[in-house]
Structure 1
Amino acid sequence: MPTVACPDCASTNRVPQERLGDNPRCGRCGSPLFQGKPVTLTAANFDRHLAAETPLLVDFWAAWCGPCKVMAPQFEAAAKALEPRMRLGKLDTEAGQQIAGRYGIRGIPTMILFRGGEEIARTSGAMSAAQIVEWARSRAG
């Protein structure tokens, strides 16, 4: 049974695979576990989302980055297509410098796909929603 971290309280929830599409709610706070938009990742919640069994696609970005601004609505659109089989999250590299450093982020936007806490794929540069979906699905297996 896959685990999913709540986008609001970061509690870990077990959800049967066949129930992922049934709009599951957090057992702790009652929030929907999938909201059709990327989760804002911070130093406080990053590791909880990373540890969940649901694949996690992270967009490493910064407010001053032009390509990041262009890609932001595309990443949001991709979340609607990829959830609930995958969690999408955004990490501001300025606010989360320690996490960005942990993964050697040198250029942004950079996306990293994680499964079971391990990096399984990485790409840099802005993409359209369709390209993000295609890239993520082809690497998630």
Structure 2
Amino acid sequence: MSEQSFHLVCPHCQATNRVPAARLSAAPKCGKCGQQLLTASPHELNAQTANKVIQKNDVLTIVDFWASWCQPCIMMAPEFKSAARQLPQVVFAKVQTDKYEQAAAPYNIRSLPTMVALEMVRKSHVNQARYQVIKSSSGCKACSRSTSYIRLLIIQAIYPRAHVFL
């Protein structure tokens, strides 16, 4: 019987790596560049990297869609970064919507900041995989307490999935 494994996109070189589930909490490194796959800070995504990270990562991915002119987005950024440090088995990413509108378009971003939690959906009987949005939250209701709000977002999104360690 084979062990379950996950695909992770390296935030440094964009290579896709297969990581056994048991090694997710052991700071896995990229097979191509040798850097850590799960970092303690959000990945900054552009139009090309956003598509790859969202389509290839098998672990829970939380994306913060923000803009440089948005004051609530700027206020939330340190809390989002803090959540990334506290939850290293979750991929945290940021997309600057005023620079990369096309990266935000598939998610119908209408207000900022917007956090979207995504997960891979695999059909074992069919060799297909796709992402689905499992939770989305917009506006600045979470700005002042975003670490706890992100934790709640994750719990609501994945409970009772066991492969993410909270």
TM-score, length-normalised on structure 2?
0.80
Deviation readout 1:4-47 (Å, 9 max, x if unpaired): 11111111111111111111110011111122110111112112
Structure 2 residue 59 is matched with structure 1 residue 41 = no
| 1:57 partner SS | strand
Aligned to 1:134: 152
Q: Secondary structure of 2:78's partner? A: helix
Match of 1:123 in 2: 137
Q: Name the count of aligned residue pairs.
A: 140
Q: Which residue of 1 aligns with 2:32?
A: 28
In 2, Cα distance between equivalents of 1:13 and 1:81:
23
1:89 is aligned to 2:93:
yes
When the two chains are superposed, the root-mean-square deviation of aligned CA atoms in Å is: 1.1
For residues 60-102 of structure 1, give each alpha carbon's deviation from its aligned partner in whole angstroms, at most 9, with x where no partner exists.
0001100001100000011112221x10100000111012122
1:18 pairs with 2:22:
yes
Q: Distance in 2 between matches of 1:137 and 1:89?
A: 18
Question: Contact 1:40 / 1:90 at 8 angstroms: preserved in 2?
Answer: yes
**Runs of at least 4 residues off by over 6 Å:** none
Q: Which has the larger radius of gyration?
A: 2
Distance of 1:140 and 1:83 partners within structure 2? 15
User: Within 1, Cα distance between the matches of 2:24 and 2:114?
Assistant: 27
Structure 2 runs not aligned, ≥5 long: 121-130, 160-166
Q: Output the CA distance in 2 between the equivalents of 1:83 and 1:135.
A: 15
What's the TM-score, normalizing by structure 1?
A: 0.94
